[in-house]
Structure 1
Amino acid sequence: MKVRLGFVANSLSLWDASPAKTITYKRYTELPKEERMDRLQEVTRLNLEHTKRILYLCAAHEIELYRLSSSLVPLATHPEVEWDFHTPFKKEWRELGDLIKKFGIRASFHPNQFTLFTSPRQHVTDNAVKDMVYHYRMLEYMGIEDHSVINIHIGGSYGDKEETLGRFHENLKVLPTHVKEIMTLENDDKTYTVEETLAVCQKENIPMVLDIHHHEANLSERPLEDYLEAIFATWEKRDLVPKIHISSPKSEKAFRSHADLVDAGFVEGFFKTLKTFDQDVDFMIEAKHKDLAMLKLIEDLSTIRGVKRISGGALEW
């Protein structure tokens, strides 16, 4: 069993490397009209440059898993702005894609919690489609859409899960087919359990991203190991290694919140369960300390008997 580890968006190992610098719409409107586009391009160029720095850091540490920031392009989907963020940066987008391919990095996106297909309000669904297309376009500009994923949650229950799930399946029909082909769904910490999310994934033929922290906060009817084989099977259509989100609670009181680091004790039992399936997986670390937390966890897990660290960002058992 091989396990690769990765991290989300920003690197705390690098100085001032946020790939999510932004400009608010209010600030945008306060600028003189002739300066607005220059400012949007300035911030975007900086985010793309910082992403390049992070990719080089991944290569240096042999990290093959990285989640790109959804905020690379400020105001990209704002209805009053919606600007061409490709033409001025064709070279930069392609360079990022070339580096991702060269370094063998599995890249992904995770739009925010407002990108959902369960709302009874049409404009929410329309905005979800717009946001998913925005993320797809960025992957397309990098030339990595065929091997990447865009991960979202199912959304709220709106007081009636059965009715809401029916609406989810109906609303999802408006998502362009090529975008749906690379989307994934993740179980959440309050509403949709592993069991419920898996059922939706199976019905829509969508790969499922398992989040073990969310599962512990929102348990299913049966033990997690009862669902693992079926979860792994959802990835067969993409011929990709299953992806699993890893984090641990900030505290017993703030159980749903992510801690700065990952408590190896919190994930060790699950890690050992995985061994019985002998299934290669990718761990996306969702701790507050980003790459620092990822590098600490891989050190901790490599101390387990039989586990061997085979690179800066991968283990073998």
Structure 2
Amino acid sequence: MKVNAKDRELNGRSTTMRWLREHKDEAEQRQWDIMNHNASAAVKMIERVATLPQGRRMVRLGSEMLQGYTEKDWITWWQRREIQDHCEKIFAPVGETARRLGVRLSFHPGQFCVLASESDEIVERSILEFEYHADMARWMGYGTAWHDHGFKINVHLSGKGGPAKFLKTLGRLTPEARNLITIENDEMTNGLDTTLAVAQHVALVLDVHHHWINSGEYIEPQDVRTSRVIDSWRGVRPAMHFSTSREDILVDHDSGVRPDLAELLARGYKKQKLRAHSDFCWNRAVNAWVLDFRDQFDIQVEAKGKNLASEQLYEQYISQHL
């Protein structure tokens, strides 16, 4: 899983707010260098993914493409007209390349982006963070219509404010952000039934591992709730998230048998441990189950070894359909 020298140009670069504070004379140049590299790297990554089979052409872009975009020390700098114009110039080829080569893109802001928080302060910070991702998507040419080319900016429906607070916050987002936002079910609090409460207002991402942790259920493609998730995309092909509990937690578990949550909990396993994503798609029985969704969804693998794990799942799909 180490990066080969020839692949380093595909990876983004970053810095820290501390470094920028301690090197004020060099800070702006560092920002220019990082933003230019990261936009170029995204294009190269998309071009690389476009060489894969059609069924694997998806890229989740990193949230740290622009350093400190919402931080108090840098937010004014990023909003300068010449910086915004430059960002539009360097990000436009990212979207153009993805559309030309048929690669589906997405963002996934961190779990600190809580649009349904009871805290108004957290909501304000979350809106800034979400709109940062919407800015990048807009520069790439997305957001003017409902889920352009399947592009999505996905966040959890987390926060004690629940659906009511989320819908209130949703109304404060820019039109581009509202066109691109998707909501996924959480594994510990706001599960699938909660996210379905906002299905008329926003597209839903079905995270089947989160649902399993939350309920112990392996939901089926023909389930009425699955149909409601699909309907929330309004004719756009939906995306779902897939992962499995870690290999080093379920040591020696038969890869031909799906884990049983109730049994594992009875044996002393903890949900906090079981919720963590595995490195690879190691359980062939779980893989076979999730591949039943393939005709209806794009399956995005959230394993730690994403590229290798998605290849593993794809190869099992091919072997099952020979």
Please classify the TM superposition score into its range, dividing by the shorter chain length: 0.7 to 0.9
Give 1:190 shift.
0.8
| Corresponding position: 1:35 with 2:23 | no
Deviations 1:135-189 (A, max 9, x none): 11111111133331111111133xxxxx543323323322223311221100111
1:243 aligned residue = 239
1 CA distance for matches of 2:46 and 2:26? 31
Structure 1 or 2: more helix by fraction? 2
1:271 counterpart (291, 297, 303):
291
Q: 1:138 aligns with which of 133, 136, 139?
A: 136
Q: Provide the residue aligned with 1:259 in structure 2.
A: 278
Residue aligning to 2:65: 72
Structure-2 residue corresponding to 1:128: 126
Task: Indicate conservation of the 8 Å contact 1:12/1:290, yes or no.
Answer: no
TM-score, reference length from structure 2? 0.80
Shift of residue 221, structure 1, vs aligned partner: 8.7
Does the CA-based 8 Å contact 2:138-2:176 persist in structure 1? Answer: no
In 2, the alpha carbon distance for the partners of 1:233 and 1:21 equals 38
2-structure distance, mates of 1:303, 1:56: 26
In 2, distance between residues paired with 1:177 and 1:91?
21
Q: How many angstroms does 1:119 deviate by?
A: 1.6
**Equivalent AA in structure 2 for residue 192 of structure 1:** N
* CA distance, structure 1, for counterparts of residue 2 and residue 300 of structure 2: 14
Q: Does 1:59 align with 2:50?
A: yes
Give the match for residue 258 of structure 2: none
- Return closer, same or farther for 1:140/1:177 CA change in 2, 3 Å cut-off: closer
**Map of 1:301 onto structure 2:** 317
How far apart, CA to CA, are the structure 2 residues paired with 1:190 and 1:106?
29
- Superposed, 1:92-171 pairs within 5 Å as 92-145=90-143, 146-147=148-149, 148-157=151-160, 164-171=162-169
The 1:299–1:165 alpha-carbon spacing in structure 2 relative to 1, beyond 3 Å, is same
Residue number in structure 2 paired with 1:210: 206
CA contact (8 A) 1:246 1:285 kept: yes
Shift of 1:12: 5.5
CA deviation digits over 1:77-112, x for unaligned, max 9?
Answer: 112102154333444212212111111111111111
Q: Give the structure, 1 or 2, with the largest relative contact order (CA under 8 Å, sep 6 or more).
A: 1
Distance in 1, Cα, partners of 2:169 & 2:122: 10
Question: What's the Cα RMSD here?
Answer: 2.4
Q: Which has the higher strand share?
A: 1
In 2 relative to 1, CA 132–241 (structure 1 residues): closer, same or farther, beyond 3 Å? same
Deviation at 1:50? Answer: 2.0
Q: CA deviation at 1:30?
A: 0.4
The secondary structure found in structure 1 opposite 2:26 is helix
Q: CA deviation at 1:214?
A: 0.6
Task: In structure 2, give the amino acid aligned to 1:151.
Answer: N
On the 8 A contact 2:208/2:219 being kept in 1, the answer is: no
1:284: Cα distance to partner? 0.8
Q: Percent identity?
A: 25
For 1:71, what is the secondary structure of its paired residue?
helix
Determine the C-alpha separation between the residues in 2 that align with 1:171 and 1:260: 35
Whole-angstrom distance in 2 between the partners of 1:42 and 1:97: 20
Runs of 5+ unmatched residues, structure 2: 251-268
Residues 99, 164 of structure 1: alpha-carbon distance in 2 compared, 3 angstrom cutoff? closer
If the length of structure 1 is used for normalisation, what is the TM-score? 0.81
Per the alignment, do residues 212 and 288 of structure 1 end up closer, same or farther by CA in structure 2, a change over 3 Å counting? same
**Cα pair distance change 1:220/1:59, threshold 3 Å:** same
Does the 8 Å CA contact 1:235/1:242 hold for their aligned counterparts?
A: yes
Q: Please name the residue that 2:263 is paired with.
A: none
Is 2:308 the counterpart of 1:292? yes
Which stretches in structure 1 are left out of the alignment for 5+ residues?
1-9, 158-162, 309-317
SS of alignment partner, residue 262 of structure 1: coil
